[in-house]
């Protein structure tokens, strides 16, 4: 029997995808005396859907507590979703869409890094599945390739879909008045950053400390104890500086360049990255993965240079407030933030635009900008991100009041919703057309499903 799986570690769709993929392998391996018997329940073109595919996705939905409807009804919905995915895959094969082995490996590595971080360690991931990392990757490779092919085919179908202003207006007019969504208050926030340079004196001080630590390790002191006491990496210091298994491409290039050259127990020379200065000790190497511990020291900006940054931003804020310079011009002239290429506006990662709801703004920033009126700028604020100190001033471009969505204030949002609806309509028409020209076979009890589309041909 396969190992019992602790579902608590699977808190993300990606990890659940890994779970269902590997569980399928376990189901396929069961003997005929087991209660679950696998078999083909659907064929689209030359691609099959197995009973285990449906059972596994149903298990995923149930584990997330999102079951809506009876078990047979939900399984029929899962099956119809799989029919659509296999139809996309079949068409991708017909269209000769290709995904290279290199592209698959890049995506595989990205997902494996995430899976390991969610599980806690490579050992824990291997323990849960009773498989080595290599076996996990081998079993997941085809799943990822199929996903990438279907995604490319879907993008191909909808890539030329555009929407006109008149279509947006027509879409909005069709929304029942009692269904028009309420838009919460939103902020548009600008930021000007002054990043003082770190002096050579401060850098040399950090190097001298690390040199001393290396000498102490050579004399018998424990590296992990020194990391707990002195490392300025909050993510690893409590674990004695241990980073966990990783492969090339996951860390800073300079860090990896030194780490992968080490032998077990060996300590590196001082390594400089944009995070600061490091000492690295190799713990173990396992195939293409290594595990190391490190001590990070981040040179601090001198109080004199830090104060200069504050004084500069005080002056900039005064210039903006007195209308002697525009905010846009101040960003170009004074900001050290790489993000100033976007005009100095903070970008909401959830939406990709410059609007934030109050709950989406960092609490420290919200406390500052909530006191501002539109067009006002804050006093300089000292920040410390990843051990780097700087001063910032925040500019409130504007804030909206809570309101029902309307075309004047929320056009971009409504346009995006209307565009997605149009893409879904195009995709629906495509499905109808391809169903009529593609070999589709459904067997067993699943022929009795109440599908949204006519997958069974008379």
Q: Domains of the chain, with CATH numbers?
A: 7-160+434-448 (1.10.4030.10), 182-197+302-404 (3.10.50.40), 200-297 (3.10.50.40)
The answer to whether residues 285 and 122 touch, using CB atoms and an 8 Å cutoff, is no
pLDDT (0 to 100) of residue 31: 39
Q: Identify whether the C-beta of residue 69 lies closer than 8 Å to the C-beta of residue 13.
A: no
Q: CA 207 to CA 255: how far, in whole Å?
A: 15
Which residues have a Cβ under 8 Å from the Cβ of 217 and sit 6 or more positions away?
A: 223, 226, 267, 281
**What per-residue confidence (pLDDT) applies to 17?**
56
No. of helices (H) and no. of strands (E), the chain? 14, 12
Structure tokens at 135: 């076996």
Rounded distance between C-alpha atoms, residue 82 and residue 229, angstroms: 53
Q: In what order do the strands lie in the sheet with 289-297?
A: 271-273, 276-286, 289-297
- Residues 406, 141 contacting (CB under 8 angstroms): no
Predicted confidence (pLDDT) per residue in 359-399, tens digit: 899 999 999 999 999 999 999 999 987 778 899 999 999 99
State pLDDT tens for residues 261-313. 999 999 999 999 989 999 999 999 888 889 999 999 999 888 899 999 999 99
Q: What is the pLDDT of residue 146?
A: 92
Which residue positions in the chain have pLDDT lower than 50? 1-11, 27-36
Token pair recorded at residue 320: 């903006």
Instruction: Output the pLDDT for position 23.
Output: 52
Q: What is the pLDDT of residues 310-332, one digit of tens each?
A: 999 999 999 999 999 999 999 99
3-state SS, residue 289: strand
CB 282 within 8 A of CB 262: yes
pLDDT at 35: 45
92 in Cβ contact with 150 (< 8 Å): yes
Tell me the pTM.
Answer: 0.63
Helix (H) or strand (E) holding 397: strand 388-399
Cα–Cα distance, 339 to 198 (Å, whole number) = 21
Per-residue confidence (pLDDT) for residue 7, from 0 to 100: 40
Count, residues in the chain = 458
Give bridge partners of residue 255 from the DSSP assignment.
none
């Amino acid at each position: 029997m396969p190992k019992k799986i602790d579902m608590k570690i699977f808190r993300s769709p990606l990890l659940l995808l890994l779970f269902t993929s590997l569980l399928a392998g376990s189901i396929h391996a069961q003997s005929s005396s087991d209660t679950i018997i696998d078999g083909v329940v659907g064929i689209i073109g030359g691609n099959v859907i197995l009973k285990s595919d449906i059972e596994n996705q149903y298990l995923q939905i149930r584990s997330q507590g999102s079951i809506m409807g009876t078990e047979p009804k939900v399984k029929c919905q899962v099956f119809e979703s799989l029919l659509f995915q296999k139809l996309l895959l079949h068409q991708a094969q017909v269209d000769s869409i290709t995904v290279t082995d290199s592209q698959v490996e890049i995506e595989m590595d990205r997902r494996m890094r995430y899976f390991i971080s969610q599980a806690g360690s490579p050992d824990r991931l291997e323990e849960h599945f009773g498989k080595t990392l290599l076996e996990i990757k081998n079993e997941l490779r085809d799943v990822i390739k199929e996903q990438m092919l279907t995604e490319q085919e879907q993008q191909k179908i909808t890539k030329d879909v555009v929407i006109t202003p008149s279509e947006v207006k027509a879409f909005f007019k069709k929304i029942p008045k009692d269904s028009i969504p309420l838009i919460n208050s939103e902020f548009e926030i600008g930021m000007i950053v002054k990043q003082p340079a770190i002096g050579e004196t401060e850098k040399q001080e950090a190097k001298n400390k690390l040199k001393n630590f290396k000498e102490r390790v050579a004399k018998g002191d424990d590296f992990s104890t020194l990391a707990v006491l002195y490392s300025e990496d909050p993510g690893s210091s409590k674990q004695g500086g241990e980073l966990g298994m990783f492969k090339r491409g996951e860390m800073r290039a300079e860090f990896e360049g030194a780490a992968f050259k080490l032998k077990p127990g060996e300590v590196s020379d001082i390594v400089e990255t944009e995070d600061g200065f490091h000492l690295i000790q190799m713990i173990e190497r396992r195939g293409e993965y290594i595990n190391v511990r490190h001590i990070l020291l981040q040179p601090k900006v001198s109080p004199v240079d830090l104060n200069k940054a504050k004084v500069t931003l005080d002056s900039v804020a005064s210039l903006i407030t007195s209308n002697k310079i525009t905010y846009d011009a101040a960003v170009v002239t004074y900001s050290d933030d790489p993000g100033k290429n976007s005009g100095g506006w903070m970008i909401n990662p959830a939406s990709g635009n410059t609007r934030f709801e109050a709950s989406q703004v960092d609490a420290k920033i919200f406390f500052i900008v909530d006191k501002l009126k539109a067009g006002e700028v804050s006093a300089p604020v000292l920040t410390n991100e990843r051990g780097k100190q700087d001063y910032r001033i925040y500019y409130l471009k504007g804030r909206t009041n809570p309101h029902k969505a309307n075309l004047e204030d929320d056009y971009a949002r409504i346009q995006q919703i209307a565009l997605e609806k149009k893409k879904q309509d195009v995709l629906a028409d495509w499905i109808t057309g391809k169903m009529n020209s593609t070999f589709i076979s459904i067997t067993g009890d699943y022929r009795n499903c109440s599908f949204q589309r006519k997958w069974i041909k008379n």
